[in-house]
Structure 1
Amino acid sequence: MVRISVRDVMTTHVASVRPDTPFKDVAELLVRRGVSAVPVLEEDGRVAGVVSEADLLRKEEFREQYYGEDYRPRLRARLRRRLAGRGEDGQEKAGAATAAELMSAPAVTVGPDTSTVTAAQLMDEHGVKRLVVVDGEGRLIGVVSRRDLLKAYVRDDAELRRWVEEAIPEQARWNDRTGIVVQVQDGIVTLSGYTSTRTEATAAVHVAKGLGGVVGVREGLVWERDDRLELPLIWD
């Protein structure tokens, strides 16, 4: 089945820093490269953690530590800090001078063959905007961001149609799909025509919905036989 993986959409030219990189150099790198975070790499290329804009801005959130007791962080910053339950961690990062002291560790990582669906779920689960892509040894090979994941939906309708037509017989193990008509417009797949059984129709819809880049699926299949009604009843 055609599946879009992290490898297909990730960024491979990634800016990175070392654990001893000074605070100011990290900030300048983020601004110069126009990115919101950078991985921190050990000498052997393994990912030690990630420094984000949020980590750097801890110094601003706890600015009263440097500018006197009269300074009060913005309400949003105070609430975020309280709800996250990381006041002490924030204070430590406010006084950080190097990437090692700033970084969030361990980094949330994925392998290059991870599906974009799983990557999106991990971002949501961990509340991060990007994932570090590593090889089997934990070494950096790329970064995938939320914007990168959106690339899966920037696909030509003709290409999506071909993917669906190829995926349906492969997944459902049919020898003939001549009864199914696949149409795609603006990423929305319409399945029409007929199948021999209801199970085959359901499988076709399931396969189409599982393909990367498919915005939605409209069901218009008709089956000749409802094989679900033929299943034997199981009595307690």
Structure 2
Amino acid sequence: MTTRPFTVADVMTRKVVAVRPGAEFKEIVAAMERWKVTAVPVVEGEGHVLGVVSEADLLLKEEFHDHRLGLVEQARRLDDTAKAGSRRAENLMTSPAVTTAPDASLPRAARLMAAHRVKRLPVVDARGTIQGIVSRSDLLKVFLRPDEELADDVLLEVVEPLFTPSRHGVDVQVEGGVVTLSGRVRDTSLIPLAARLAQAVEGVVDVRCELTADAEA
């Protein structure tokens, strides 16, 4: 059970596959294949993140392998053509890297991924040193939380604070991550708030609110 929002640190992968700026093209491809990842951070020193090399960066070499560009397209895709002609991580990487902090919320990390159209984010501390990596699949881990744990959180974080005088009249059931709130409450103005707060509990898929007014109130 948790009484605080999940952060990136809770779900990130701490063992990171990374390469140095001087890593060669084939070395990077081999690392991705061996560790079954689609991108690798490029780090220097004690783990300072310089950028990220993704499959998309590497595939430019194949895209331009036998394709001659017109002058207009060359001008429009200068960065891509430069990467296609490169063979070291420092020239292949996308820089600066889009990163996140260990204490960032999961929704914030998800928005970063969507905004920058990336599948994973290096997780760095205040000095820019890599601490882990978080992927789309990592962000989905919260939806694997047991139903019993979700029910406990909804009771603790929603029902008890809002309906203390009548909490014994509120029932919480969770099945497949879907929360059902049922029973009678004295203050019906709190019902919409209860539904929103229950939906905000990490790992909740949906909320069915069947709360009604207590006729004896």
TM-score surpassing 0.5?
yes
Q: Is the 8 A contact 1:116 1:212 kept in 2?
A: no
Secondary structure at the counterpart of residue 186 of structure 2:
strand
In 2 relative to 1, CA 223–137 (structure 1 residues): closer, same or farther, beyond 3 Å? farther
Mapped pair 1:32 → 2:5: no
Instruction: Give 1:220's match in structure 2, choosing from 189, 210, 216.
Output: 210
SS at match of 2:103: coil
For the Cα contact (< 8 Å) 1:13–1:142, is it kept in 2?
Answer: yes
SS of residue paired to 1:184: strand
Q: Give matches, 1:169-180, under 5 Å.
A: 169=159, 172=161, 175-176=164-165, 177-180=167-170
Letter in 2 for 1:14: V
- Residue of structure 1 in register with 2:60 after alignment: 58
Give the partner amino acid of 1:158. Answer: E
Question: What SS does structure 1 have at the residue aligned with 2:171?
Answer: strand
Question: Which stretch of the first structure deviates more once superposed, 54-63 or 40-49?
Answer: 40-49
Gaps in structure 2 of 5+ consecutive residues: none
Aligned positions, number = 208
Superposition misfits of 4+ residues, deviation over 3 angstroms: 172-176
C-alpha deviation, 1:86, in angstroms: 5.8
Please say if 1:205 is aligned against 2:207: no
Q: Percent identity?
A: 45
Q: CA deviation at 1:169?
A: 5.0
Structure 1: give runs of 5+ residues left out of the alignment.
Answer: 73-81, 226-236
Code of the residue aligned with 2:134 in structure 1: it is: V
Deviation at 1:17, TM superposition (A): 0.8
Once residues 25 and 123 of structure 2 are traced to their aligned partners in structure 1, the CA distance between those partners, rounded to angstroms, is: 24
Q: What amino acid is the match of 1:31? A: E
TM-score by length of 2: 0.88
Local SS of the residue matching 1:90: helix
Secondary structure (helix, strand or coil) at the match of 1:51 reads: strand
1:85-116: CA deviations, max 9, x gaps? 96211101001121110111111111112222
Deviations 1:19-39 (A, max 9, x none): 111112111111111110111
